[in-house]
Amino acid sequence: MRGVAVLLVLLYHCTFPLCAGGYVGVDVFFVISGYLITRLLLHDLDSEAFSLKAFYIRRLRRLYPATVATTALTVVAGVIILSPPHLKELGSSSIATLLSVSNFYFSSAGGYFATAAKLKPLLHTWSLGVEEQFYLVWPLSFWLIYRIRLFRRFSFVLIGAACVCGLLLSQFWIGRNPAQAYFLLPFRAHQLLIGALAVEVERRLRPIDASAAQWLSGLGLAALVVCAVLFDESTPFPGFASAAPALATFLVVVAGSAHAVNRLLILPLLTWVGRLSYSIYLAHWPIVVYARYLHGDQFETIEKWLLLVASIAAGALLHYGVEKPWRLGAGERRWREAAGVGLAGFTAIALTGVLVMTNGWPQRMALAPEKRDYAEEVEFAFLRGYRDGVLKEGTAESGRKVLIFGDSMMQNYVPALMGIPQFRAADVTVVTRGGCVLGWGALRIVNHGVDRECRLFRDTIFHGKSRYDVVVWAQNWAGYGGTLFVERGSGVAPATGDGVALWREIIDGTLAQLTRRSGKVVMIGPPLTIEGIPETLDRIGPITDTRQITAALTQLREVRAGERDRLQDSLRQIAGDALLIDPRAIVCPTGSCRLHDDRTSYFLDSNHFTAAMTPVIAPLLQQQVAPALLVLSVRGFEDRTRRVSAGSAESWSSQR
């Protein structure tokens, strides 16, 4: 069954068709581990040879050498292949792996099926963490069950009840925290305990009739195949769904070996793979990740088979070169070897800690200047010469005044706007900060309190007396739900509604204030959202072919386009006399969104521009703001309003 389990995992990770649920191979491993460990403990207790010290030394010799070797080789390969962010992450996950807590690490770093998870070379070690943590608590627990007569008498009931409780807890926790439910022992323990329950069944029901055994094992194998074919990444897991592969494995285990179906399971090749299953499992995922990193996410059929064969071959080398020699070492050397393994592990922890402290050793990129240049180009455009807060820009030669304000969506356009001659010649005030809603009366509640810095920036805009010829305003109009509040008199109330309805009061108040104090108001509509940008760009490593990066960028598409377009239409209806610019006309002027040139990406993430985007959008943005440029090209707005008496001009603060 271990051969079946590891092949299911291999077929799934190598993306073979009809195996979208192959991840249930890990569940098979859990049941088998629970079964084998419990049977071993029972044998030691029956023969009065039980020793926790001996048990843990056996586990250490059996599992840790291959884990240390795999981690070390994975890190060495990562130094050659990975980008600094990914190498730093590998350093952190390596430490967690060597300390047998990688399941905790990955549970806090996103789900198993998340896109970013596909580029984590040690992600698969989460299951080893679950098993090793189970080994810490189960031997003593089983010893208590065995030693206390009442517990021993009802051991089947106790273990069965624990299985049911664990399954219910797993199902409950999916709704609270899916990542924790997937990775952590309390929500997986029922599968390991089902293996222990199989030992109890063996003790009570042996021998099972050959005909019944054949039906049980046939049903179990069939159910396992159904799970592998019908389950996929959208299946709520573990929860109740995890009971299916676990019970299927349970049926095969309790059926024993005296039946015809067992002939499938004892085929020489399958049993050989089963003996090597631990090493194959350790070796396969780093190979798949690095292939994906260098090649891209899509594998041809021949490439899938090559990955499968390479994984088994690497597993064989690891098994015969590391796992087996350490496991079968002479008894008198066990303590010395165990100490050596522990020392090797802690040495590896120290070395991988360096990768974390150096932020992924970015100096490696100097060995590949073209990769370094590519990575340096992937920088937020605004950070090339600007910063958050209140800035004074422009030469003021024209005597015109311009106000630019908003959140990081506005920052996308500041470098391009300042490249337009009329803006560059004006006296420009830039008030921006990421995550800052700078509309009239707007407040954000962050970490249970008002974002005071944002409010200070907002008051800088609306409580001053300056008049502007042109005002440009942009926000992430699709964001901030649940954190957006509006000041009303002396009180504060949450902004309600969806889409533009959430913003209506803020937009109306802002436009009312701006139109009194400016010649032309320009609003920039909701940003486009491109999914998969960070995951793609983070692959820029010392030996990465940057053509693979740009090819991968070409495959990315805008998401939630319909929702964005509806939001743009709604903004148009309430913009009034303000000039509303559609970002699609700037980013996708021909209908196809430009994500990169042949050299670098135009996007830093799903909706922020890199420095490379600035010269691309500058002429298009200049066309879009042409009506505002007319205002800047004639006599300044302040000159035209100078004749207005001071008594008839209302200050913004009096409008509150």
Of 304, 338, 366, the last residue of a domain is 366
CA distance linking residue 174 with residue 178, whole number of Å: 4
CB-based burial of residue 105 (10 Å sphere; 0-12 exposed, 13-18 middle, 19+ buried)? buried
Cis, peptide link before residue 238, omega less than 30° from 0? yes
Residues in CB range of 540: below 8 A, 6 or more apart: 83, 371, 374, 375, 378, 546, 549
CA distance linking residue 534 with residue 376, whole number of Å: 14
Range of the domain at 544: 381-638
Same-domain pairing of 32 and 71: yes
CA distance linking residue 463 with residue 461, whole number of Å: 6
DSSP secondary structure string for all residues of 406-452: ESHHHHTTHHHHTTSHHHHTSEEEEEE-TT---STTEEEEETTEE-H
Residues in CB range of 118: below 8 A, 6 or more apart: 289, 292, 297
Query: Radius of gyration (Cα) for the chain, nearest Å?
Result: 32
Domain for residue 645, yes or no?
Answer: no
Domain for residue 186, yes or no?
Answer: yes
Same-domain pairing of 395 and 361: no
Same-domain pairing of 388 and 458: yes
Domain for residue 650, yes or no?
Answer: no
Per the DSSP assignment, residues forming a β-bridge with 431 are: 390, 405
Tokens of 30: 């859990």
CA distance linking residue 325 with residue 62, whole number of Å: 10
Same-domain pairing of 359 and 420: no
Same-domain pairing of 197 and 346: yes
CB-based burial of residue 296 (10 Å sphere; 0-12 exposed, 13-18 middle, 19+ buried)? middle
> What letter represents residue 288's amino acid?
V
Mean pLDDT by 10 residues, the chain (656 residues): 92 91 94 93 84 84 89 89 81 89 86 71 94 92 83 84 94 89 94 92 76 83 93 89 94 77 79 93 95 82 94 94 77 56 62 62 51 57 77 84 92 91 91 89 76 86 85 88 78 70 85 86 89 63 60 63 84 88 88 73 82 89 87 56 36 34
CA distance linking residue 337 with residue 342, whole number of Å: 9
Same-domain pairing of 327 and 416: no
Angle, CA 538 vertex, CA 79 and CA 298 arms, to 5°: 95
Domain for residue 374, yes or no?
Answer: no
pLDDT score at 651: 33
Of 366, 398, 416, the last residue of a domain is 366
CATH number at 446 reads 3.40.50.1110
CA distance linking residue 307 with residue 284, whole number of Å: 8
Same-domain pairing of 190 and 161: yes
pLDDT score at 115: 60
Same-domain pairing of 354 and 431: no
Task: Return left, alpha or beta for 524; rule: phi > 0 is left, psi -120 to 50 is alpha, else beta.
Answer: beta
CA distance linking residue 227 with residue 333, whole number of Å: 44
Per the DSSP assignment, residues forming a β-bridge with 443 are: 485
Neighbours of 376 (CB within 10 A): 12
CB 406 within 8 A of CB 434: no
Same-domain pairing of 469 and 617: yes
CB 562 within 8 A of CB 478: no
CB 118 within 8 A of CB 289: yes
Same-domain pairing of 407 and 353: no
Tokens of 40: 């071993």
Classify residue 391 by its DSSP letter: E
Residues in CB range of 282: below 8 A, 6 or more apart: 66, 67, 70, 124, 125, 315, 318
CA distance linking residue 379 with residue 366, whole number of Å: 17
> Which position has the token pair 């521009």?
609
Tokens of 516: 């009194």
Task: Return left, alpha or beta for 576; rule: phi > 0 is left, psi -120 to 50 is alpha, else beta.
Answer: left
Neighbours of 70 (CB within 10 A): 28
Domain for residue 647, yes or no?
Answer: no
Domain for residue 574, yes or no?
Answer: yes
The full length of the chain comes to: 656
Domain for residue 68, yes or no?
Answer: yes
Strand order in the sheet with 401-406: 389-393, 427-432, 401-406, 468-474, 518-524, 579-581
Same-domain pairing of 397 and 457: yes
Domain for residue 656, yes or no?
Answer: no
Q: Indicate the number of domains in the chain.
A: 2
Say what angle helices 52-81 and 277-295 make with each other, to 10 degrees: 20
Quote the strand ranges of 280-438, DSSP E: 389-393, 401-406, 427-432
pLDDT score at 133: 94
Same-domain pairing of 559 and 475: yes
